[in-house]
């Protein structure tokens, strides 16, 4: 495992339920746009960047059989 990578521990959502910010294991908080750029640079573990039909990029958990680690299901702050 790459020691430079960090996992997302918590997320912040807007009233529509969209993730606006993420908190990493080290306690640092990043906007979703910053987190997307970090994920593209392979700095965040367990996520990848998807592109919606409207062209907007979004962060998503890597596919697995565990629903509890999906970004929409982890703890908020």
The confidence band for 3, taking pLDDT boundaries of 50, 70 and 90, is low
Mean pLDDT of 36-46: 96
Mean pLDDT of 9-35: 96
Residue 74: name the closest of 44, 38, 41 by CA: 44
Residue 43: name the closest of 59, 65, 67, 57 by CA: 59
Instruction: Give yes or no for residue 53 having a pLDDT over 90.
Output: yes
Q: pTM to 2 decimals?
A: 0.88
Q: For residue 27, what pLDDT is reported?
A: 95
β-pairing, 44-45 vs 6-13, is parallel
What residues contact residue 65 under an 8 Å CB cut-off, 6+ apart? Answer: none
- The residue extents of the domains of the chain are 6-64
Mean pLDDT of 25-54: 96
């Amino acid at each position: 495992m790459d020691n430079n990578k960090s996992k997302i521990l918590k997320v912040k959502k807007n009233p529509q339920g969209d993730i606006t910010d993420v908190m990493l294991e080290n306690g640092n908080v990043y906007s979703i746009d910053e987190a997307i750029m970090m994920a593209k640079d392979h700095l965040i573990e367990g996520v990848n960047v998807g592109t919606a039909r409207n062209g907007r990029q979004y962060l998503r958990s890597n596919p697995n059989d565990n629903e509890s680690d999906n970004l929409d299901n982890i703890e908020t702050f």
